[in-house]
């Protein structure tokens, strides 16, 4: 199915947000995940199923400033 990840359309296997993070080798602690403009709780990553057309944002920490 097709979803948008950080603004880009991508074909992914159906599954949960955690499945997608694992497939992309992203450590869940390193990212805030938004699905359709709503931030997910970390506990909900494994139970939130993605659907065709969902907009997923992986928001990485950006800490520098100096």
Binding residues vs another protein (CB under 8 A): 6-7, 25-27, 29-32, 34, 37-39, 41-42, 57, 59-66
14 or 23: whose CB is closer to another protein?
Answer: 23
Largest CA distance in the chain: 42
By C-beta, is 3 or 14 nearer to another protein? 3
Looking up tokens 């997608």 gives: 20
Closer to another protein at the Cβ: 52 or 62?
62
**In the sheet that 2-5 helps form, which strands lie side by side, from edge to edge?**
8-11, 2-5, 55-60, 31-35, 38-39
């Amino acid at each position: 199915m097709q979803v948008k990840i950080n603004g880009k359309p991508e074909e992914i296997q159906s599954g949960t947000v955690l499945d997608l993070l694992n497939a992309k080798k992203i450590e869940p602690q390193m990212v805030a995940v938004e699905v359709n403009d709503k931030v997910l709780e970390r506990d909900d990553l494994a139970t939130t199923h993605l659907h065709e057309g969902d907009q997923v944002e992986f928001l990485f920490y950006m800490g520098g400033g100096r």
